[in-house]
Amino acid sequence: MADSDSDNDGLSLFDIAWEDVLYVKLFPLLSLKDLFNLRCCSHLAKTFVDNGLRRLQEINLSGNNSPHLELAFAVLSENCRNVRVINLAHCNWLQDGTLYPLLKYNHRLTKINLSECLNITPRSMQPIIIGCKQLTTLKLSHCHWLTIGAMEALTLHHTKIQELDISHCAALNERCISVFLLNCRMLQTLSLSNVPAVTDNLLLAIAKHSKFIKNLNLVGCYLITDRGVLALAFCCKELESLMVRECPSVTERSLAVLRGRVFIDRPRVYQPDMNMVPNMGFPRLFLQV
């Protein structure tokens, strides 16, 4: 028994089969923080983690602005080659130089979130536009750097996008968004919150081209009216939620048509000029006897 114990003294974690056991059973249980702590233990541990990062399919650093995080991100960019989902929302340290290599070498990306990444430029969109042909979700909320040209290039190369968030992207115009809608007919979720270019004409384009739209965010789009919302009501049969807070020209005249089958973020309001009964979705009928 003693001889058996002495024989096991030289064994370590890394004597277990890497490909069949450690990468399959252990690696998925470790957070990025755990992996980097392990990576610092020894040269062998560094080799193990770096090789394992090539299998990593999801990177989520949303809101993480820890000091020197860009150094850790450089390690990810150097080693990751199979990432499918990346969430870097609210990462103030992120710049083109650190983001570009990761996007360049991960062409299988399907979901990308760069919302409120304020220190990057349209240059970072180039590998997304050219290389990420399987992209289905793109979130760019509050990205003031998103230009009309970048949006047009995205439209030219992508037809499979199902979820797009360009809220607060004030540089975009109605035409570039309309052309995108014409090209991406499978769109299911669209957020245009506080985009000044959104008008009834754009809602008509959504009604015409986005038949599968389920979730639509128009909060703060102050130029839209009942005309555009009614077009959505009659043409977008798959619509499940509609956000129209802070849209002063959208009234119960159009919203009443949607209530009952669509979630609306505004409560029903009694409007005397419509002869609406409170808590009912249809006009009251006055019959003369």
Three-state DSSP string of 70-104: HHHHHHHHHHCCCCCEEECCCCCCCCHHHHHHHHH
Lowest mean pLDDT among 81-90, 188-197, 271-280: 271-280
- Residue 81 and residue 51 in one domain: no
Note the pLDDT tens digit of each residue in 22-41: 999 999 999 999 999 999 99
- Residue 189: which residues within 8 A CB-CB, separation 6 or more? 162, 163, 164, 165, 213, 214, 215, 216
- Residue 141 and residue 173 in one domain: yes
Residue 154 lies in a domain: no
Note the pLDDT tens digit of each residue in 202-246: 999 999 999 999 999 999 999 999 999 999 999 999 999 999 999
Amino acid at 286: F
Contact between 115 and 139 (Cβ < 8 Å): yes
- Residue 164 and residue 48 in one domain: no
- Residue 86 and residue 35 in one domain: no
Residue 12 lies in a domain: no
Amino acid at 108: R
Amino acid at 260: G
Q: Is 288 exposed, middle or buried (0-12, 13-18, 19+ CB in 10 A)?
A: exposed
Note the pLDDT tens digit of each residue in 242-269: 999 999 999 999 999 999 999 999 888 7
- Write down the pLDDT at residue 12: 85
Residue 60 lies in a domain: yes
Residue 28 lies in a domain: yes
Contact between 79 and 53 (Cβ < 8 Å): yes
| Interatomic CA distance for residues 74 and 58, integer angstroms | 16
**Would you state the torsion angle of the CA atoms of residues 187, 191, 194, 200, taken in this order, to the nearest 10 degrees?**
40
Q: pTM, whole model, 2 decimals?
A: 0.87
Note the pLDDT tens digit of each residue in 53-68: 999 999 999 999 999 8
Residue 44 lies in a domain: yes
Could you tell me the residue range of the domain that residue 167 belongs to?
Answer: 136-146+160-266
Q: pLDDT at residue 284 above 80?
A: no
Number of domains present in the structure of the chain: 3
Note the pLDDT tens digit of each residue in 96-109: 999 999 999 999 99
**Would you state the torsion angle of the CA atoms of residues 109, 110, 111, 117, taken in this order, to the nearest 10 degrees?**
40
What's the distance, CA 251 to chain centroid? 29
- Residue 70 and residue 184 in one domain: no
Residue 283 lies in a domain: no
Q: DSSP letters along 121-153, please?
A: -GGGHHHHHHH-TT--EEE-TT-TT--HHHHHH
Q: pLDDT at residue 280 above 80?
A: no
Average pLDDT, the chain: 90
- Residue 253 and residue 141 in one domain: yes
Selected residue with higher pLDDT from 150 and 273: 150
Q: pLDDT at residue 282 above 50?
A: no
- Write down the pLDDT at residue 268: 83
Helix (H, G, I), strand (E, B) or coil at 20: helix
Question: CATH no. for residue 209?
Answer: 3.80.10.10
| Interatomic CA distance for residues 190 and 137, integer angstroms | 10
| Interatomic CA distance for residues 277 and 272, integer angstroms | 9
- Residue 222 and residue 142 in one domain: yes
- Residue 141 and residue 216 in one domain: yes
Residue 69 lies in a domain: yes
Contact between 244 and 229 (Cβ < 8 Å): yes
Query: To which residue do tokens 């299911």 refer?
Result: 188
- Write down the pLDDT at residue 253: 95
Helix (H) or strand (E) run with residue 110 in it: none
- Residue 142 and residue 122 in one domain: no
- Residue 178 and residue 255 in one domain: yes
Helix (H, G, I), strand (E, B) or coil at 221: coil
- Write down the pLDDT at residue 278: 43
- Write down the pLDDT at residue 9: 61
Q: pLDDT at residue 273 above 70?
A: no
